[in-house]
Structure formats: structure tokens, C-alpha cells
């Protein structure tokens, strides 16, 4: 799969036909909301879990020294809680550019906090994208993140901001919090 996913994502869904669009954020889209939205709600995506298994060439690392950022991995018995935003189709020019480093938009069902299920969209970096780094222990992920920097800032800040946002939402995520614990030890 090509690394820059902008053109692929444009063809994936016809968003103009949709009455409502709910975008699910599970990483930087929780704490860096640089797009307009109509409403938001905590939401869960069943059968998926977040992992720092994707390489970042353009935000928290560089092509020569990629950082480690989140993607979602299928995991039948788990769920991922994040933030869902009701948005207009206009925001996707910006978001497809922001998330162009291997992420594709997927159609999913989201469980909103009021228990209503909504059709949603989520950016996931699949295993076959060229920036994919894959599984590693939380300790080795933390060591990698500790040394990575890119145009959007340090990879460490990505984790610390996310951990803080999840704590504020009352979300427990052992993978994220263990990496955060290692990073705070190195500081
Ligand atoms: C998110 O926060 O939903 C997200 C994380 C990584 C890439 C794209 C989106």
C-alpha cells in the first residue's frame, strides 16, 4: 500500500450522501482537535484495541527515524474507548492530509456514551502499510518513543498528552499507561 493515503481515502466513501458523520478519535484526535465539530461524545469501538505499532514519518518522527504512534488492532474481546465527533464532510480534506502517513478511513459501528449505536468513521493504519512497525514490548516502545522527535514535536509528548486526556475521561488503557510510566522514569 502506498504510504501517502490522501488519494486512496478520497475514493473510499461517498461522504456527501451521508446524513450524519461521526468520526472516532482514539489518539491525537482526542487531545488535538484542530477541526470544527457539531457535537461530541465519548464512544467505544468493540473488537479493537489501541497500540503504538505504527511508524510516524511526518509528525512524531522522520522517514529516517520514524516515531511510534497509534493504530487500532483487531482484538475480539476488547474495546477501545475514545471520543466521537459529529462532523461535516468538509473536515476530511484537512484530516486526510493530517493522517496521510499510512492511515485509511474505515466504516465502523460506534457505541456512544448514551448507549446509542451510530455509524462512524475511523482512521486505522493497517499492517500492510509501509510505515507499519508492529508489535514490541511496552518497555522497548517507550525507549523508542523517548528518542523520537518530528515536525509536530516530541513523540514523548504525544503519549503524555494522550494519557492525560484518557485519565480525564476516566478511561483505563494499560498499554498507554505502562508506556507513560516508563517515559516518566526516563525523564
Ligand atoms: C485518532 O486519534 O483517531 C487517530 C490516531 C492516529 C491516526 C489517525 C487518527
**Domain residues of the chain, as ranges?**
6-135
Q: Strand 67-87 relative to strand 104-112: parallel, antiparallel, unpaired?
A: unpaired
What grid cell was written down for 185?
522514569
Q: Are 54 and 125 in contact (CB under 8 A)?
A: yes
- The CATH fold of domain 6-135: Hypothetical upf0131 protein ytfp (3.10.490)
Note if 180 is an active site residue.
no
Phi, psi of 65 (to 5 degrees): -135, 75
Are the beta carbons of 102 and 125 closer than 8 angstroms? yes
Give the separation between CA 117 and CA 121, rounded to whole angstroms.
13
* Active-site choice (78, 99, 127, 135): 99
Instruction: Give the cell for residue 175.
Output: 498499554
Nearest to 60 by CA among 96, 98, 22: 98
For the cut 70, the answer to whether the pLDDT of residue 104 exceeds it is: yes
Q: Are 98 and 27 in contact (CB under 8 A)?
A: no
Nearest CA to 148 among 131, 166, 165? 131
59-78 pLDDT tens trace = 999 999 999 999 999 999 99
pLDDT score for 100 = 86
**How many residues are recorded in the chain?**
187
Closest Cα partner for 67 from 85, 79, 53?
A: 53
The residue whose C-alpha atom lies closest to atom 3 belonging to ligand 1 is 25
What pLDDT, in 10s, does the model give residues 109-162? 999 999 999 999 999 999 999 999 999 999 999 999 999 999 999 999 999 999
CB distance 27 to ligand 1 below 6 Å: yes
Amino acid at each position: 500500500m502506498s504510504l501517502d493515503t490522501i488519494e486512496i481515502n478520497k475514493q473510499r466513501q461517498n461522504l456527501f450522501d451521508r446524513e450524519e458523520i461521526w468520526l472516532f478519535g482514539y489518539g491525537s484526535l482526542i487531545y488535538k482537535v484542530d477541526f470544527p465539530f457539531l457535537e461530541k461524545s465519548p464512544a467505544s469501538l468493540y473488537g479493537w484495541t489501541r497500540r503504538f505499532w505504527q511508524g510516524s514519518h511526518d509528525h512524531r518522527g522522520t522517514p529516517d527515524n520514524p516515531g511510534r504512534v497509534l493504530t487500532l488492532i483487531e482484538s475480539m474481546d476488547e474495546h477501545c474507548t475514545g471520543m466521537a465527533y459529529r462532523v461535516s464532510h468538509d473536515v476530511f480534506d484537512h484530516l486526510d492530509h493530517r493522517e496521510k502517513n499510512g492511515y485509511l478511513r474505515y466504516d465502523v459501528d460506534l457505541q456512544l456514551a448514551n448507549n446509542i449505536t451510530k455509524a462512524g468513521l475511523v482512521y486505522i493504519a493497517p499492517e500492510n502499510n509501509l510505515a507499519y512497525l508492529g508489535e514490541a514490548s511496552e518497555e522497548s516502545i517507550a525507549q523508542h518513543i523517548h528518542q523520537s522527535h518530528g515536525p509536530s514535536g516530541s513523540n514523548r509528548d504525544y503519549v503524555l498528552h494522550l494519557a492525560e486526556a484518557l485519565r480525564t475521561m476516566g478511561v483505563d488503557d494499560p498499554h498507554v499507561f505502562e508506556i507513560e510510566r516508563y517515559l516518566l522514569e526516563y525523564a
